[in-house]
Amino acid sequence: MANSMSAIAEHTMVKTVTPFLVAGICALCTWLFTSVMSLEQQVKLLNEGTVHNLEEKVDKLSEKIDVMNVTLTDLRVSLGGDNRRDKRDRQQH
């Protein structure tokens, strides 16, 4: 039996495939490790409520921007109306 194990270890195919097999296993372990670390970070953010808080802040900021746009539009309309009146008054005089 010892001779058969030695014969298998000395076989060219085993010598050729073994480094690729080891490299594949290392790559798989690395991928699994990074995937688990990424998932752990995402779960941590969800547990802390950071994502939820950011969504609320973005919603509030969007509402403020909408209000500012309405105010700016009203301001432009009121200033535009005054400018037209001033031009008409100047033309009449």
- Domain range summary for the chain, segments of one domain joined by +: 1-48, 49-93
Residue 61: Cβ within 10 Å count: 10
> Which pair of structure tokens corresponds to residue 12?
């060219």
Does residue 8 contact residue 14 with C-beta atoms inside 8 Å? Answer: yes
pLDDT recorded at residue 30: 97
Instruction: Evaluate if residue 72 carries a pLDDT over 80.
Output: yes
Tell me the mean pLDDT in the region 28-55. Answer: 87
Residue 45: Cβ within 10 Å count: 13
Residues above pLDDT 70, as percent of the chain = 81
pLDDT recorded at residue 23: 97
